[in-house]
Amino acid sequence: MPITMTLPINNIRQRTGRRTREYNHQFDGNDGWKLTNVRSARFGLLIYWDNALKIGTTAAGRDEKIELDFLEVRAWHGPNRQKEFGLGSQQQLQKIYGEIGGDPLSPETFNNQRVLSAALNRDDEVFLEFEVNTDHPTYCKAAERTIAQGKTALKIELTTYAFDADIDDDGKITLTIGPGSRVGAYEGYVAIDFGNTTSTLAALPVGSRRVSAIRILAPHATDQAKLPELKPQAPAVESVLRIDYVAKQPESQPRVAPHPDLVGWVTGEWARIGRSSNGVIYGSKRMMTGPGWEDTVDVMVAEAREPGEGANLRRQPYPIPGRIPAELFLCRTFQQFRQAQQEYPSRLAVTYPTTYSAREMRQLREVVSRAWLRTMVQKQDGDKIGEAEKHIELELDEASAAAFFFLYRRIFEKPGGLPRFRYLYPDGMNLLLYDGGGGTTDVVLVRGRLDPANPNVLKVVVLARSGVRDFGGDNITIEVFRLLKAKIAAALAKSRGESKALDALPQDPTKWAAYLDANADKFDKWVPTRFDADNWVGGADQQRNRDHTWTLWMCAEDLKKVLGTPAAPGKPPPSEAALPSSIAGKLGEFLTKSAGKDGLKFEQIKVSRAEIDALIRPRVLHSIELCNRLIQQRLWLAKGDPQEVHWVVAAGNATRYPLFEELFAKHLYVPFFADRFLHDTENCKHAVAKGAVLALGWDKEARSVGIDFDSNLADQLPFTIGVFNQQHDAVRVLYPEGSRYSKMTSPLYIEVVTGKGEKPAEYLILERRWPDEEKFNKFLTFRFKDGIASPVKVSYDPDTAQFVAQDHNDADGELVEGDREKAYRPPPQRGDL
């Protein structure tokens, strides 16, 4: 018998990624990998198969065929896959016939065939690898048809042809790919913490109580052949995506079709590592939560057939609605979960920032639902979105989620459990959570205590929240970037003997920030990194500067990480870090040409911790000041018994930078700091998702102990709203921070005084003050084109999740568009560095 074998490719389900199976064979073994006629020690072997597969018959009686684009077959021979089989090109085949001899098959044999070919030894081991792209629409079609026909697997036949100079052997390999069904729902719980900089998906199996049972979706390797994995510990996924192609839609359709196969995109590190920033989108979360989330932004994408292919094609600006990047990012996250687990996520917990408004929450909910529908290849009409929203079984603010995670470990995973906690902290435990994210810093005070009315219920109450909305880990990178730029500029000037063109760095570190500001224009002449963020079709300089920014930003990120690395045992922590020499190539010709005749040694340019510390210290101290203000106002001066902070937890990647902990220890109003501080680097970023998935599991499974989250922050106003009262020369507070949106639907009246003989005022301005601000700033402007008939009625409309104003004549105030927040751009895409 010649080669005759069936190779099962089992456990293959639709849309679970590229699944690979490997087989290895030795000739004349017991598995059907035999040659009957060919006896030579060395011979040729061809494996070929029809690229079209019949999957049925049309109504007209014709064969219905599909392309086998979803199947890749690779083969090697020799020890340790020493040599790979070649393809079936004429040249390759001639080479093999040349060596082995024999009669070549007629070229017609290979019409519409895919071929692998090799000359090999009889004692060579042959390795066969079959890769099925289960996301490929053709595979999904074939699988559906197979199931409809009542078959258990899709059959594909490959022909083998072995030959030597004298004789040949025809054989057959039958692949059975099954079952081809769609995946089922994951019975456990899945939480998604979609962050500005990084994101986490955490999964918890049903019936699990331990933190150790939680699995994290690991960042997907840039090697496409590897499947995503759920691991006990993994880094967070970078919240960045690169859109490579969009299948253009007719004018009447949405600009980006909701089908997953009509857009090509990659996420995480894979999206970032390209040399160019084209199509790369950071900050998709902020784009999604702005009031103008349906407004389009131009993204450089191509028309292409496959993800990845687009990176090499010519890109052009293409308008994409602001909510789409977030949807794509989340969709890919869900897809990767499905690939890793072979089940789709069904019971979801979604976390949201502590400062989210009801509108932002609503938008997040819809985007998650749309992403889920895209993952499931379902339409995104109104009813479907509503149905998909039902999969979100828990919405929890990030503060409560993270606090719950840390409290959970401290309470429930210690022997003695809740009674032990009650004994140690009879009046509850106050936890200060400092979450240093990429772009923002959130601070919350949370109290975990036992409900006096029910001692078996742990209440998690957010006492207060604050934070800095424009300070996070990115600001550290910005300072590293600015310093690098200044130092490269200085080095370039020096190499050309023009040192005097730039002012020297002042001795006093407190003056460095001002120095960098004052000399920014000069530095940019030497190291041009500024560009017009909205101009994608500008000249070469624009693109060059974008690329410079991109390269320097990546370097700055790396140097920040080096400087934030904890000290190794017995060694001091790193105090300085140098640019890699490889940057020369990446920074391009411009800088290399700008250098003097001796060139520029980039690796000699260093930044030190002391320098970075000096630049960011005031902002870290400001954030600590806000913490102290919360502690004083909400704990020390609270009604009843003054309280204190029992536990400080630093979370978020920014806090990995050591200055944070150093300044906390020195300035935070928390006694016994060393005892009360936790910087859990392993869970720095995952605590939110882990807390949410535990809370969802806890909520859904009967326990003898209950958890009560007494916050619902999405229903609470994150800032104070007021209106300036000229009579009292002060702002009249309309809605204090923490007001419930659900209780703001009743109107408030504002008297607008018009002087005698004066024209009635046309604009009513509402002001707001965030917890980190001293003063009120403009928030919303309502225009009454016929002039205001006092009083004006202001209220919150829950249907549109917007504030509305109506004057005495029932005229509606028109919201002035200029007040809308601009679409968020991450620092390296702003063009102002």
Partner 1 sequence: MPEPVETAPRIGPKFPLLGDAPHIVERFERIAAVFAKLGEDPLLLERPEVQKAHGDFLRLDERLRRPRYQVGFLGTTQAAKSTTILNLLDRKKGEGPVDSGDGAPKTSSITRIVPQSEGEHTLRIRYLTPAQYAEKRARLCEKTGLDPDSSDATVLEQLDKQLAGPAAGARPAAAEVPPLIRDLETLGKLVRSYGQYRAMVVDRARVEPHPYAKRESFVNHPPEVAGQRFAPSPNHLIREVEIGLTSERLPQRLEMIDLPGLGSDGSSDDILTKGFLHELDGALVFLRADQYGDSDVEYIMSKLIQEFEGGRSRIWIVVTKMDVIERDSLYGKAADELLGFLRKHGLKTDQLALTTKRLHDRRGPDGKVPLSQAAAIVQINLDDADPVPPGYRADPGLKASFAELLGDGGTARLRKMVTEELEGRVAADTQRQAGEQLGRIAERLVGVVEFLRQVTGGNLELLVLAEQCRTAVTREVAALDQQMAWFADSSQQVRNELDAMLDKCFPGDEDNLQQKSADLARRFPAHAKILTDTLAATFQSNVVLPAYEKVAAQLANEAFAAVPVGDKLGPGKYWEAAMAADAALKADWRRTGFPTFQADLAALFAPPGEGEEEDRELNGGHYREMLQEKIRAVVGEGVHRLRAQLRVRLSELRDQLNQLADFDPQALGPTTVDFDALLAELRTLCPSR
Binding residues for partner 1, rule: CB under 8 A, are 209, 412, 414-417, 419-420, 422-425, 451-456, 632, 636, 639-644, 646, 668-673, 675-676, 702-705, 727, 732, 734, 746-751, 791, 793
Shortest CB 671 distance to partner 1, Å: 5
Dihedral angle computed from the Cα positions of residues 675, 680, 686 and 689, in that order, rounded to the nearest 10 degrees = -20
Single out the residue of 286, 225, 713 nearest to residue 462, CA to CA: 713
Is 593 or 639 the residue whose CB approaches partner 1 more closely?
639
Shortest CB 592 distance to partner 1, Å: 53
Amino acid identity, position 573: P
CA–CA gap between residue 710 and residue 702 (Å, rounded): 19
Extended beta strands in 437-530, E state:
441-451, 454-468
Is 601 or 634 the residue whose CB approaches partner 1 more closely?
634
Copy the structure tokens of residue 468: 């800095």
Shortest CB 412 distance to partner 1, Å: 8
CA–CA gap between residue 795 and residue 748 (Å, rounded): 6
Annotate 145-179 with three-state secondary structure.
HHHHCCCCCEEEEEEEEEECCCCEEEEEEEEEEEE
Shortest CB 236 distance to partner 1, Å: 29
Is 728 or 759 the residue whose CB approaches partner 1 more closely?
728
Sign of CA dihedral 259, 262, 263, 268: positive
Shortest CB 760 distance to partner 1, Å: 16
Residue linked to tokens 């751009």: 825
Is 85 or 664 the residue whose CB approaches partner 1 more closely?
664
Is 485 or 646 the residue whose CB approaches partner 1 more closely?
646
Shortest CB 274 distance to partner 1, Å: 48
Can you name the residues that pair with 648 across neighbouring β-strands? 432, 677
Amino acid identity, position 331: C
CA–CA gap between residue 256 and residue 787 (Å, rounded): 42
CA–CA gap between residue 478 and residue 467 (Å, rounded): 19
Cβ contacts of 766 within 8 Å, gap of 6 or more: 721, 722, 723, 734, 779, 780, 781, 782, 794, 803
CA–CA gap between residue 782 and residue 802 (Å, rounded): 12
Shortest CB 414 distance to partner 1, Å: 8
Is 312 or 456 the residue whose CB approaches partner 1 more closely?
456
Annotate 636-653 with three-state secondary structure.
HCCCCCCCCCCEEEEECH
Is 108 or 641 the residue whose CB approaches partner 1 more closely?
641
Is 182 or 676 the residue whose CB approaches partner 1 more closely?
676
Show contacts of 515-520: CB within 8 Å, 24+ apart: 516/482, 516/483, 516/486, 516/615, 519/486, 520/482
Amino acid identity, position 750: I
Is 267 or 623 the residue whose CB approaches partner 1 more closely?
623
Shortest CB 803 distance to partner 1, Å: 13
Is 235 or 791 the residue whose CB approaches partner 1 more closely?
791
Shortest CB 810 distance to partner 1, Å: 9
Shortest CB 640 distance to partner 1, Å: 5
Radius of gyration of the chain (CA): 32
Shortest CB 444 distance to partner 1, Å: 20
Is 749 or 763 the residue whose CB approaches partner 1 more closely?
749
